[in-house]
Amino acid sequence: MFTHTSRGMTVSGEGTADVMLTCMRCLDEYCQHVHFIIEEELHPEPGFAQRRGADGFEALGEVCIRPDHTLDLGEIMRQHIVLHLPVKPLCRTDCPGLKELHPDV
């Protein structure tokens, strides 16, 4: 959803993505389901955008509104997906780890 504001434009919405991650214990790849919510305020200046975060506004250098007023949403979505990825990815919470470490299994 796009909303025009006096200062620029607000982009909001939510989505899900499936991201292939590597489990930090067994090093197997697994599919992490990520749900993310986007709320960005964009300004018409080229290459400038701000994010409403816990620390106030944070400048995002990578988002740009093109001269023909189309917007590169791919970069915004990529940043939000990355933000919601687990810090320590595990294929499952009780992952036993590398099989080599458990020869009796």
Please report whether residue 21 would count as binding Zn ion according to CB under 5 A.
no
- Within 10 angstroms of residue 83's Cβ, the number of other Cβ atoms is 11
Label residue 41 exposed, middle or buried (CB < 10 Å: 0-12, 13-18, 19+).
Answer: middle
Q: Hey, which bits of the chain come out as E strands?
A: 2-4, 9-22, 29-42, 49-53, 56-60
**From 17, 19, 64, 95, residue interacting with Zn ion (rule: CB under 5 A):** 95
Please report whether residue 65 would count as binding Zn ion according to CB under 5 A.
no
CA atoms within 13 A on the CB side of 89: 19
**From 11, 23, 49, 81, residue interacting with Zn ion (rule: CB under 5 A):** 23
Minimum distance from residue 43 beta carbon to Zn ion (Å): 43
Task: Tell me whether residue 78 or residue 99 sits nearer to Zn ion (CB atom).
Answer: 99
Minimum distance from residue 12 beta carbon to Zn ion (Å): 35
Give the binding site for Zn ion (CB under 5 A).
23, 25-26, 91, 95
